[in-house]
Amino acid sequence: MAIKLSLAPVSYYWPKQKLLNFYQQVAKSAIDIVYLGEVICSKRLEMKFKDWIDLAQLLKGSGKQVVLSTMTLIEASSECSRMRRVCEQDEFTVEANDFGAIEILSQRGKSFITGNSINIYNQRSLNILHKQGLKRWNLSVELGKQQLQKLQNNRPDNLQTEVMVWGRIPLAYSARCFTARAHNLPKDNCQFKCLDDPDGLLMKTRESQEFLCLNGIQTQSALTNNLITELNTMEDLNVDVLRINPQSQHTLQIIDAFSQVLSKKQSVDHFYQALKSYAPSGLCDGYWFGEAGMNKASIPLKQVESA
């Protein structure tokens, strides 16, 4: 079965019209699966539940498989209510990003997908969640291909595996809003400062190296994880879905690059330099190779050939 491409939910706070314009373009792209929904902060309310459903139906009408994503960190009863509303609708599959959503979906006998925020490190976890209704899981970002190989060797039948191949790495979540803190504002009066940073707020070390990216309650890597050189390995490991994290610019070109390499229409080297220019702060892939996440371990094909 051919590997599919998925587009993760937008992590950042974009105005409603920007989101609508973005997904109208996505509808015409080569992406197979689209995840929709607010996964970071419940204060980002320009898109209401009905807006997400309307958007999901538009994408479904364009031939895309649509998945609705729940929030990662539930802190209030209003957030729990929104999560329950997503889980209880019956038109679209749900990506559960916390165990509260998993509990609701399991109780209703509905199959579900787990996102990057659900840490699955061993076979026992996969088996337990599969019995509860898990049909596709996302590899935890800090795990690499050796750990994936072990999990793939004994994964339950009919369970699909998804791996993030492009995007800033989601590292941690906190009840505190770091973006508000960076602007000396309380979380409850953040003035929606996330709108000023459509790809998050960069943090630098004392040596001026771009190190982390703040996105409300989420901390991401500054560097962009890029595994386009590993698509053949993904096939060998029987990965079912390759996940691309959206960014404010060049997402459609990134989708096209992965689609063409995956379908063998173009070589990795044809796109490598362009992808490098699309990454806001440079590339990394260390976790995949069992190294520090911010390392760059893979080598472009031309450099291999000339070595």
Q: Is 189 exposed, middle or buried (0-12, 13-18, 19+ CB in 10 A)?
A: exposed
Phi and psi torsions of 145, nearest 5°: -70, -30
Helix (H, G, I), strand (E, B) or coil at 220: strand
Tokens coding 302 = 């031309």
Residue 59 has pLDDT above 90, yes or no: yes
Residue 175 has pLDDT above 80, yes or no: yes
Closest CA to 235 of 113, 295, 148, 170: 148
CB 300 within 8 A of CB 229: yes
Give the per-residue pLDDT at 34: 98
State the pTM of this model.
Answer: 0.94
Alpha-carbon distance 176 to 182, whole Å?
Answer: 11
CATH topology of domain 4-169+224-276: TIM Barrel (3.20.20)
Residue 306 has pLDDT above 50, yes or no: no
pLDDT in tens, 108-158: 999 999 999 999 999 999 999 999 999 999 999 999 999 999 999 999 999
pLDDT in tens, 258-295: 999 999 988 898 898 999 999 999 999 999 999 988 88
Residue 305 has pLDDT above 50, yes or no: no
Give the per-residue pLDDT at 307: 38
With both helix axes pointing from N to C terminus, report the angle between 145-153 and 123-132 in degrees, rounded to the nearest 10. Answer: 60
pLDDT in tens, 184-240: 999 989 999 999 999 999 999 999 888 999 999 999 999 999 999 999 999 999 999
Residue 302 has pLDDT above 60, yes or no: no
Provide, rounded to the nearest whole percent, the portion of the chain with pLDDT above 90: 86
Residues 244-257, mean pLDDT to the nearest whole number: 98
Residues 101-111, mean pLDDT to the nearest whole number: 97
Q: For the chain, which residues make up each domain, given as ranges? A: 4-169+224-276
Q: What is the DSSP letter of 233?
A: H
Give the per-residue pLDDT at 1: 72
Res. 166 pLDDT band, cuts 50 70 90: very high
Tokens coding 283 = 């590339």
Closest CA to 121 of 154, 147, 103: 147
Alpha-carbon distance 82 to 12, whole Å?
Answer: 19
Nearest 10 degrees: CA dihedral of 215, 19, 43, 247? -10
Mean residue pLDDT of the chain comes to 94
